[in-house]
């Protein structure tokens, strides 16, 4: 007889039941368990069956959530081989906790701030790694890559102090860097380049970069550049940080490519900056489902060993059920309330838990709910880390539950405001001292401030710490720039090929750049070190010819026959492919670029990345990562293609870039160029290779990156003029491209133009001469930003009593008449140099929103086409009385403006 309550399969089910009777038996068994032992027991059996199926390789959807308990039970921890001295490591951790809190508290009197509570919660997550897992760089130059959570940096400084790498003077200069001997607030390689390797603030960039770093490690190995298969990437993150979209943007990539050289350690203290991360929900469960769904291995380390007794008493599953249903904010409340409250609110919800609570003392309840978390016990953290590095085929995330502000006292632990609390009182420090068992006498506080603590350079603690690090390959974290010979310069013919121009053939500067790269990647010495990066727009930029010759990197190679296999430029993927074609992700492409741009320090291998993208979708979308690139001292070429506000026909507002050079100008590490001609592109790239990878000149910082804007407007490319000092002018930002020829005494004006705007200026030069009797000189302004920076340096030199004239003023020294500057960007771009130009100065630009239309119509709309340049030039000369005022009106009418 058919059970009316049983769900019957649809006749349209695409998976027909081959044995309905067997299926009915399984269902009946489940019904029997539910009836006899309750639905919770039935759910338990189902979960265990699914886990067994998954472990056996049965093709089933993954179980996205498990119970709110530890993945590795206490009984299994011994099998993970913990070989440390727990008591010794506890003493080391106590010193680090103390000094981290002391450093921030001592600095608070200067108002510089700092964060105490984050490291207090995560101390064991770091200490266990430093003592047992994190490989140093002294073995192979690479070691492990550590992405340290920014707010935990005081604890890392405290450990370096204990290790002898930092002094008390360093600690006292935390967040006070202007004197040159300070410690930066967060991991900033540019500010502390021997210690920090990866900047992880602003939040969200660390996890994204960690994924692409692990992926780039595989890229280096698969391409035969360097075997870094022994390197492991560790990313330490906060549970609140995981709300940043970049934090989870590439989880599927990490799982898809099987990056088992990557571990995320998420410190789940359940608190973000202002309060609970998921007040009414459970962040651990949410993250578990998110990572499992993406294909990651998930290890939960939630409860400390004090909970073992409670789980042993949980014969009905009531405790596990209650832990699953209590929201995070209530768990936080339990951490601050007395045993009576916990008995009533937690245990009192279920009769079975009421009976359990009768067997527990108040001290036991307080121990469990106030202190005992998996992330605070070295053995549990060790077991989780061991499981992570042993797991093969997928990345691992460790969800470690902690208490924010742990050991800092009742005033800190789990308080909503503890992220903003910057100091402890003397009484709170003494309470903390007693809790940690540190030998710091009361008299040490007599100086009016909390003392630092150190057991001595030859103490057992320091010897143990140093011996552990020596066994693991040296200190960590650490950044090393290995002494390597500069890369040899490519053959001049690759660059000189552009000097002769293109004749009558129309060539866009985007295509000129791609052609240059095609030549450079063939170089026998350095060709293999180029890393082309493109976010799924290679065909837009004319790069498809690189597919068959270089190959697109894929860890699986090419497991299919491409649809265009019979064509010359077919789509070729390869395990040793050179191109990183990332799909539609500018953020992922930038993370790729950062990993490649810093390989010279991370792995001692100089790589030359170029990342080509729609200029509108580069700086506007990922400027934060470009700041991260500068902070990490990255080197390479960013190429904003299809550049300009009026040059990309038809695409409209969201594609029309009129401001990327403005954003780029805010980044001190970015050298921003807007070249007009192919030979300028070649000269800039050649100089960039020299500066970043060859022999930098005295005073030149090689730790920079170049941003070039290139256009998709095909134009005949002129030959390189035979002008003295032209290469210097191209690199510095300005040179006279074409001198005007006119009658002696004719009005004269200087037209400065960048990028594709030089073609409007050249046409305006012709119109001014032929129709208005005005002589114009046309200058190519390859970099408004570099001209400005040079001028700022000259101003600073004057304040030091040195005589120095800005290059822009030197270049224009003999130029007669006013200056009119024009570009395909907003006027703010050329206006960067206005205050250093001695002549009358004005500018034209494409201010406002972009629009869809032809190039000609868009330029007329913005008033930057050749005729508009003529009118602006006449207006400037009319104000000086050099042409009749009526000429401006006449020109407007003649050109229909």
The 10s digit of each residue's pLDDT in 294-347 is 999 999 999 999 999 999 999 888 999 999 999 999 999 999 999 999 999 999
Which pLDDT tens digit goes with each residue over 737-769? 999 998 888 999 999 999 999 999 999 999 999
- Beta-bridged to residue 779, according to DSSP, are 736, 752
The DSSP annotation for 664-728 comes to HHT-TTEEEE---SHHHHHHHHHHHHHHHHS-PPTT--S--EEEEE-----EEPPPPP--TTHHH
* Of the listed ranges 21-30, 372-381, 598-607, 722-731, the one predicted with least confidence: 21-30
pLDDT at 412: 75
**Rounded to an integer, what distance in angstroms lies between the CA atom of residue 634 and that of residue 217?**
16
Query: Average pLDDT of 130-138?
Result: 97
Residues above pLDDT 90, as percent of the chain: 84
- Beta-bridged to residue 1, according to DSSP, are none
Which pLDDT tens digit goes with each residue over 437-446? 999 999 999 9
The DSSP annotation for 513-553 comes to HHHHHHHHTT-TTTGGGEEEEESS-TTTTT-TTHHHHH-EE
pLDDT at 6: 52
pLDDT at 668 over 80: yes
pLDDT at 558: 96
Which pLDDT tens digit goes with each residue over 183-204? 999 999 999 999 999 999 989 9
pLDDT at 11: 55
**Rounded to an integer, what distance in angstroms lies between the CA atom of residue 342 and that of residue 366?**
9
pLDDT at 281: 96
Higher pLDDT, 475 or 537: 475
Residues above pLDDT 70, as percent of the chain: 97
* Of the listed ranges 58-62, 602-606, 805-809, the one predicted with least confidence: 58-62
Mean pLDDT score across all residues of the chain: 94
pLDDT at 80 over 70: yes
CA 389 to centroid of chain Cα atoms: 24
pLDDT at 3: 54
- Beta-bridged to residue 297, according to DSSP, are 396
**Angle at the Cα of 725 (from 719 to 728), degrees rounded to 5?**
95
* Of the listed ranges 54-63, 163-172, 721-730, the one predicted with least confidence: 54-63
Q: Record the tokens describing residue 836, joined without a space.
A: 């250093």
pLDDT at 7 over 70: no
pLDDT grade for 528, boundaries at 50, 70 and 90: very high
pLDDT at 653: 87
This prediction has a pTM of 0.94
3-state helix, strand, coil in the chain (%, to 5): 45, 10, 45
pLDDT grade for 179, boundaries at 50, 70 and 90: confident
**Rounded to an integer, what distance in angstroms lies between the CA atom of residue 276 and that of residue 333?**
10
pLDDT at 888: 96
pLDDT grade for 10, boundaries at 50, 70 and 90: low
- Beta-bridged to residue 236, according to DSSP, are 265
pLDDT at 410: 82
- DSSP helix/strand/coil, 598: coil
| DSSP 8-state symbol, 452 | P
Please identify which residue in the block is written with the tokens 């450093």.
103
Those residues with Cβ within 8 angstroms of residue 68's Cβ, 6 or more apart along the chain or in another chain: 282, 284, 285, 300, 302, 320, 323, 324
Buried b or exposed e, range 634-663, using 16+ CB within 10 angstroms: bbbbbbbbbbbbbbbbeeeeebbbbbbbbb
pLDDT at 791: 98
Q: Record the tokens describing residue 606, joined without a space.
A: 């100089």
Residue 748 contacts residue 876 (beta carbons within 8 Å): no
pLDDT grade for 1, boundaries at 50, 70 and 90: very low
Residue 404 contacts residue 117 (beta carbons within 8 Å): yes
Residue 249 contacts residue 587 (beta carbons within 8 Å): yes
pLDDT at 4: 47
Query: Average pLDDT of 102-108?
Result: 92
Q: Record the tokens describing residue 802, joined without a space.
A: 């040195």
Q: Are strands 715-716 and 748-753 parallel, antiparallel or unpaired?
A: unpaired
pLDDT grade for 414, boundaries at 50, 70 and 90: low
């Amino acid at each position: 007889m058919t059970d009316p309550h049983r769900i019957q399969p649809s006749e349209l089910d695409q998976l027909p039941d081959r044995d309905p009777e067997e299926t009915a038996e399984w269902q009946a068994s489940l019904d029997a368990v539910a009836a006899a032992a309750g639905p919770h027991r039935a759910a338990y059996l189902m979960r265990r069956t699914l886990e067994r199926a998954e472990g056996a390789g049965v093709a089933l959807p993954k179980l996205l959530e498990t119970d709110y308990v530890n993945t590795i039970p206490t009984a299994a921890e011994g099998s993970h081989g913990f070989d440390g001295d727990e008591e010794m490591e506890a003493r080391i951790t106590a010193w680090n906790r103390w000094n981290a809190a002391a450093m921030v508290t001592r600095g608070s009197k200067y108002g510089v701030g700092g964060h105490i509570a984050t490291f207090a919660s995560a101390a064991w997550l770091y200490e266990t790694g430093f003592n047992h897992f994190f490989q140093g760089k002294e073995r192979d130059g690479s070691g492990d890559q550590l992405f340290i959570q920014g707010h935990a940096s005081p604890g890392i400084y405290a450990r370096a102090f204990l290790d002898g790498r930092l002094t008390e003077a360093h600690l006292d200069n935390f967040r006070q860097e202007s004197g040159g001997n300070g410690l930066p607030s967060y991991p900033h390689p540019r500010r502390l380049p021997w210690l920090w390797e990866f900047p992880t603030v602003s939040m969200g960039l660390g996890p994204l970069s960690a994924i692409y770093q692990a992926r780039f490690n595989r890229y280096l190995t698969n391409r035969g550049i360097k075997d870094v298969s022994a390197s492991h990437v560790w990313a330490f993150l906060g549970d609140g940080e995981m709300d940043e979209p970049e934090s989870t943007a590439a989880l599927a990539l990490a799982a898809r490519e099987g990056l088992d050289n990557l571990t995320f350690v998420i410190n789940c203290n359940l608190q973000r900056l202002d309060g609970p991360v998921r007040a009414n929900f459970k962040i651990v469960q949410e993250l578990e489902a998110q990572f499992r769904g993406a294909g990651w291995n998930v290890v939960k380390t939630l409860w400390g060993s004090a909970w073992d007794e409670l789980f042993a008493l949980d014969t009905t599953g009531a405790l596990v059920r209650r832990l699953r249903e209590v929201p995070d904010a209530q768990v936080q409340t339990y951490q601050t309330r007395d045993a009576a409250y916990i008995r009533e609110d937690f245990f009192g919800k279920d009769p079975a838990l009421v009976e359990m609570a009768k067997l527990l003392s108040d001290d036991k309840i307080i121990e469990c709910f106030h202190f005992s978390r998996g992330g605070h016990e070295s053995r549990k953290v060790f077991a989780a880390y061991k499981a992570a590095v042993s797991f093969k085929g997928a990345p691992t995330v460790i969800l470690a539950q902690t208490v924010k502000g742990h050991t800092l006292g009742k005033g800190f632990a789990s308080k909503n405001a503890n992220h903003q609390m910057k100091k402890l009182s003397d009484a709170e420090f003494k309470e903390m001292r007693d809790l940690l068992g540190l030998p710091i006498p009361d008299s040490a506080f007599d100086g009016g401030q909390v003392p630092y603590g150190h057991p001595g350079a030859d103490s057992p603690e320091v010897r143990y710490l140093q011996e552990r690090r020596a066994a693991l390959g040296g200190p960590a974290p650490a950044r090393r720039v290995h002494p390597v010979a500069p890369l040899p310069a490519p053959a001049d013919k690759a660059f000189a090929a552009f000097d002769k121009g293109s004749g009558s053939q129309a060539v866009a500067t985007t295509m000129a750049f791609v052609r240059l790269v095609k030549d450079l990647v063939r170089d026998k010495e350095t060709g293999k070190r180029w890393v082309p990066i493109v976010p799924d727009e290679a065909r837009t930029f004319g790069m498809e010819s690189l597919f068959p010759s270089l190959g697109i990197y894929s860890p699986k190679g090419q497991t299919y026959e491409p649809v265009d296999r019979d064509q010359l430029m077919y789509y070729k993927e390869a395990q040793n492919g050179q191109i990183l074609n990332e799909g539609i992700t500018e953020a992922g492409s930038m993370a790729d670029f950062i990993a490649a741009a810093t390989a010279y320090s991370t792995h001692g291998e100089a790589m030359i990345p170029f990342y080509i993208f729609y200029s509108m979708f580069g700086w506007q979308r990922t400027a934060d990562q470009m700041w991260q690139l500068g902070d990490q001292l990255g080197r390479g070429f960013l190429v904003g293609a299809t550049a300009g506000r009026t040059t990309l026909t038809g695409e409209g507002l969201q594609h029309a870039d009129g401001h990327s050079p403005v954003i780029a100008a805010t980044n001190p590490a970015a050298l921003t160029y807007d070249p007009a001609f192919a030979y300028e592109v070649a000269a800039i790239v050649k100089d960039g290779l020299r500066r970043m990878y060859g022999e930098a000149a005295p005073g030149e910082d090689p730790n920079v990156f170049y941003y070039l804007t290139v256009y998709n407007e095909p134009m005949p490319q002129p030959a390189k003029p035979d002008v003295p000092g032209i290469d210097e002018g191209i690199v510095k930002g300005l040179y006279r491209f074409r001198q005007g020829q006119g009658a002696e005494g004719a009005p004269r004006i200087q037209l400065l133009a960048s990028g594709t705007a030089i073609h409007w200026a050249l046409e305006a030069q012709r119109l001014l001469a032929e129709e208005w009797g005005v002589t114009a000189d046309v200058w190519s302004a390859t970099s408004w930003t570099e001209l400005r920076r040079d001028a700022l340096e000259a101003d600073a030199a004057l304040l030091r009593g040195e005589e120095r004239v800005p290059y822009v003023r030197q270049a224009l020294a003999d130029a007669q008449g006013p200056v009119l500057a024009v570009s395909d960007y907003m006027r703010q771009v050329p206006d960067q140099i206005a205050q250093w130009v001695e002549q009358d100065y004005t500018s034209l630009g494409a201010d406002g929103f972009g629009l869809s239309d032809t190039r000609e119509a868009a330029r007329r709309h913005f008033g930057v086409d050749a005729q508009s340049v003529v009118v602006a030039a006449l207006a400037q000369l009319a104000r000086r009385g050099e042409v009749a005022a009526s000429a401006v009106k006449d020109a407007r009418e003649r050109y229909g403006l």
